[in-house]
Structure 1
Amino acid sequence: MDTIVEINENTIQNAAELSTELWPDSSLTEMTAHYEGVLNASLATCFLLQNESGYFGFIELSVRNDYVEGVEESPVAYIEGLFVNPRYRHKGSGRRLLKYAEDWARTKGFKQLCSDTELENSPSIEFHTSSGFIEVSRIVCFVKDID
């Protein structure tokens, strides 16, 4: 049976390893430091999904006080990352993590849960839409080096 556990000192490395699969431009060292920060943050958490073979998914959550597109009130609960190992996808694992996130947000008093994804990430967009999220905007971000 799969279980969901909140990140702790013993699972930081597991969260970091999974997150480098979601964000391959990040190093394991960088993500380990990131999850040490999450563990010590009062406005963030991460839940890991595990089975008898080990950890295979996570959802990272935060409380955002800054502007978030489409929200009715601020602060708001925010999904910073959601990942399920490809071998375990399309079996309800992502939805279980999402349900856990919704429960976490409700216990904190939030009425909305927000998220984002890259414009070209069709599977993520489909997951969000089929899970009840409503698209509120699309943006293209720019950077210009000036020196």
Structure 2
Amino acid sequence: MVREATKYDLDILAGLAILMWTNHTLENLKDEFADIMKKNNALFLLIFKDEQPIGFAQCQLRYDYVEGTESSPVGYLEGIFMRTEYRNKGYARTLLQECEKWSVSKGCKEFASDCELSNDTSLKFHLNMGFAEANRIICFTKKI
């Protein structure tokens, strides 16, 4: 079962997200998700198996330039996660399809995403879901 997450699901959502975004804290993720939910330009989905949460997806509308796209707004997959034992069973595809439908309902003609250069699992997932690689970059910072 897939359903939209609300502010009442922040503990569940953050509990799954922390398994992917390990450099955050649960409280940080809950606060960030709560702020995003208030803006009404994002969708958080939860997917359940036998009433247990097994994954989530977050997509948003991006109005700034999105690498490789030509329109605005663009639906953007900010994150998608499935517990390991539920991967490669079609659950993530279901979440992605719901994100794409939501984006179309918001007027989007394109959908995009990204992953770290070293994240081969995410790269494989994106390619298997029909995404085409738009670009590869390395970002730099410098303290001045």
Please indicate the TM-score interval, normalised by the length of the shorter structure.
over 0.9
- Aligned pair count reads 144
Whole-angstrom CA distance in 2 between matches of 1:123 and 1:30: 25
Q: Is it true that 1:117 corresponds to 2:115 in the alignment?
A: yes
Whole-angstrom CA distance in 2 between matches of 1:36 and 1:102: 22
Please list every run of 5 or more consecutive structure 1 residues that lacks an aligned counterpart in the other structure. Answer: none
Compute the displacement of 1:106 (Å). 1.3
Q: Is it true that 1:134 corresponds to 2:126 in the alignment?
A: no
Counterpart pick for 1:47 among 45, 48, 53: 45
> Match for residue 12 of structure 2?
14
> Match for residue 98 of structure 1?
96
Whole-angstrom CA distance in 1 between matches of 2:51 and 2:101: 26
Q: Deviations over 1:34-65 (max 9, x none)?
A: 12112212111200111225111111011111
Q: Is it true that 1:69 corresponds to 2:67 in the alignment?
A: yes
In 1, are the aligned partners of 2:43 and 2:99 still within 8 Å (CA)?
no
The structure 1 segments of at least 4 consecutive aligned residues displaced by more than 3 Å after TM superposition are: none
RMSD over aligned CA atoms reads 1.0
For normalisation by structure 1, the TM-score amounts to: 0.94
Please list every run of 5 or more consecutive structure 2 residues that lacks an aligned counterpart in the other structure. Answer: none
For normalisation by structure 2, the TM-score amounts to: 0.96
Whole-angstrom CA distance in 1 between matches of 2:83 and 2:37: 22
> Match for residue 86 of structure 1?
84
| 1:32 partner amino acid | K
In 2, are the aligned partners of 1:38 and 1:46 still within 8 Å (CA)?
no
SS of structure 2 residue aligned to 1:10:
helix
